[in-house]
Amino acid sequence: MKKYTLFLLLFNCFTGWAQTTVSGTITDHHGNPIIGANVFLKGLYDGASADTNGQYSFKTTATGPQILIATFIGYKPRELPIELKPGTQTINIPLTEERNHLNTVVITAGAFEASDEKRATLLKPLDIATTAGATADIAGALNTLPGTTKVGETGKLFVRGGDSYETKTFIDGLLVNKFYNSSVPNVATRGRFSPFLFSGTVFSSGGYSAEYGQALSSALLLNSSDLAAESQTGISLLAVGVSASETKRWENTSLAVAMDYTNLAPLFGLVKQDLDWEKAPESVGGSTVFRHRTSKTGLLKVFGSFSQSNMVLHQPDLDREQGTLRVNLRNQNTYLNASYREILGPKWTVRAGLAFSRDRDQLGLNKDKLNTQEGQGFAKTVFTYQATEAIAVKIGGEYQQKFFDQSYFVAEPQEITGGIFTDRTSAVFTEADVYLSNRLVLRPGLRAEYGSRLNRANIAPRASLAYKTGSYSQVSAAFGHYYQTPENDYLKYTRHLNFERATHYILNYQHIREHRTFRLEGFYKQYNQLIKFQQPNNFTFTNLHNGGGYAKGLEVFWRDQKTIKRGDYWVSYSFLDTKRNHKFYESEVTPTFAAKHNLAVVYKHFLPKLQTLVGATYSVASGRPYHNPNLPGYNQATTPTYTDLSVNISYLTNIKKHYTILYVSCTNLLGRENIYGYRFGNVPDATNTYRSLAITPPAPRFAFVGLLISINHPPKKNYE
**Confidence tier at 428 by pLDDT (50, 70, 90):** very high
The CATH homologous superfamily to which domain 4-97 belongs is Carboxypeptidase-like, regulatory domain (2.60.40.1120)
Q: Which CATH architecture has domain 107-605?
A: Beta Barrel (2.40)
What pLDDT is recorded for position 9?
Answer: 38
Furthest CA-CA distance within the chain: 86
Tell me the average pLDDT of the chain. Answer: 88
The DSSP output letter for 668 is S
Question: Which residues does 320 contact at the CB level (< 8 Å), separation at least 6?
Answer: none
What are the residue boundaries of the structural domains of the chain, listed by start? 4-97, 107-605
What pLDDT, in 10s, does the model give residues 536-549?
554 455 566 689 99
| Alpha-carbon separation of residue 221 from 111, 168, 224, 364, 650 (angstroms) | 10, 9, 10, 34, 28
Q: Phi/psi at 278 (nearest 5 deg)?
A: -85, -40
| CB of 59 closer than 8 Å to CB of 39 | no
Cβ contact 428:389 at 8 Å: no
**Interval 108-126: pLDDT, tens:** 666 654 433 333 335 677 7
DSSP line for 339-369: EEEEE-SSSEEEEEEEEEEEEEEEEEETTEE
Q: What is the pLDDT of residue 539?
A: 45
pLDDT > 90? residue 622: yes
The terminus-to-terminus CA distance of the chain in angstroms comes to: 33
Look at residue 541 in the predicted model and tell me its pLDDT: 55
Report CA 69 to chain centroid distance, whole Å: 25
The model's pTM: 0.84
Residue 710 pLDDT level (bands cut at 50, 70, 90): confident
More confident residue, 90 or 53: 90
DSSP 21-45: EEEEEEE-TTS-B-TT-EEEETTSS
| pLDDT tens string 553-600 | 999 999 999 999 999 999 999 999 999 998 888 889 999 999 999 999
pLDDT winner (highest mean) among 87-96, 175-184, 658-667: 175-184
Q: How far apart are CA 61 and CA 19, in angstroms?
A: 5
Q: What percent of the chain lies above the pLDDT cut of 90?
A: 60
